Amino acid sequence: MTPEQKQNIMTRVDKHLNDLPWFINEYIDYRIDASANTLYNYVRDYYKFFDWIVNEGIHPGPMTEIDIYTLEKLTMQNIISFERYCMRNNNRVDTIARRLNSLRSLFHYLSQVAEDEEGYPYLHRNVMVKVNIRKEKLSNKKKAEKIANKILLDDEISAFRNFIREDYGNYLLEKNQKRKHSSYLYNRERDLALISFMLGSGLRISEALSVNVDTIDWNNNQVDITRKGDSGDVVSFSNVAAEDMKRYLEIRDDRYKVSRSNKAFFLSRKTGNGGLANRLTVRAAQLMINHYADAFGKSSLTLHKLRHSFATNYYKVNKDLATLKTILNHANLETTMIYTYISNKQIEQSINKADSR
């Protein structure tokens, strides 16, 4: 994550904090060494919870006026009701678990760490210690089955690249979407470069967007990036990705009218007469791939599925799990093993395809 990306997230954190009680601000200050994304998830979860408290009439509101005594009065039934509220809003099991864990961390701080002027804890009764947090537990095989049909396999990778390079424009003209066609022509080289880069490196989207022009070693197809957790690393990318990235680099400065001080490799289109091209955001990149995926006929394809696509095809060709773990920057080998199951699924499908009636 680049400093500017971190700053953008922290700006959103501060915006949420303006609507939350004082003790949330204090807790975020206490956790300030956590990653920007972690802090943002905290404040989003607390906003959702305290908004529910007001809507349920547990506190008259506004959220900023919710006090410690309100938390003291909460019962197990209240927490169960909040959990059911999240379920009714179609939140995933893991999302609900994260929200409850956010509350557990907050309540622990208020009851075990924070203290008033007389040395007493803010919170004397911690209802969250009674809460059993359910989390969806899936084996690697089950995880593999869930994503096997949502990624690009074998020839689909080159087909998707070619679709962006050539066929998407024709698709838009057939649909009589001239405005989108104009935008596509403007951003085609950039979009292809980003997607090709991810398919040829296995990077996370935040890592890919952290790339700067002056950190790319074109002779060795390597780049300095900021990993998840803000650690620096050097990663390699494929020759195919390099070709698409170089084509984008050729038009980058003139088309995006970028200042020399802006080192971001992937840029957004400048807005207005006085607007400036900035580093492409994760949100903009997500919206971008949605258009291509839908038109390609694979609407389940996301930016993170590009990473899965790279990993699956890498393991299929190389059968080297240890190196793949390093490339993907996984903390443990167990996480990487999911791609061995996806590869086995491909083998099963290939056998049935070869021996069909």
Q: Is the domain of 173 the same as that of 105?
A: no
Domain total of the chain: 2
Q: Is the domain of 124 the same as that of 236?
A: no
pLDDT at res. 275: 67
Mean pLDDT of 150-155: 86
Q: Is the domain of 131 the same as that of 154?
A: no
Residue ending a domain, choose from 119, 135, 151: 135
Q: Is the domain of 44 the same as that of 124?
A: yes
66 near 53, Cβ under 8 Å?
yes
Mean pLDDT of 41-52: 95
The boundaries of the domain holding residue 47 are 3-135
Q: Is pLDDT at 348 greater than 70 in this prediction?
A: no
Residue ending a domain, choose from 135, 165, 184: 135
pLDDT in tens, 242-291: 999 999 999 998 888 888 788 999 998 876 556 678 889 888 898 899 89
- CATH code, domain with 194: 1.10.443.10
Q: Among residues 45, 44, 61, which one has the least CA distance to residue 53? A: 61
Q: Is the domain of 104 the same as that of 150?
A: no
Which residue reads 């694979």 in tokens?
A: 298
Q: Which residue has the higher pLDDT, 77 or 131?
A: 77
Our CA angle for 128, 131, 133, nearest 5°, is 120
Our CA angle for 71, 73, 77, nearest 5°, is 100
Q: Structure pTM?
A: 0.67
Q: Is the domain of 36 the same as that of 85?
A: yes
Whole-number average pLDDT of the chain: 87
Sheet holding 222-226, edge to edge: 216-217, 222-226, 232-236
Q: Is the domain of 124 the same as that of 13?
A: yes
Q: Is the domain of 24 the same as that of 149?
A: no
Q: Is the domain of 163 the same as that of 245?
A: yes
Residue ending a domain, choose from 135, 157, 190: 135
Q: Is the domain of 186 the same as that of 114?
A: no
pLDDT band at 91 (very low <50, low <70, confident <90, very high): confident
Q: What is the largest CA-CA distance in the chain?
A: 80
Q: Is the domain of 82 the same as that of 148?
A: no
Q: Is the domain of 26 the same as that of 81?
A: yes
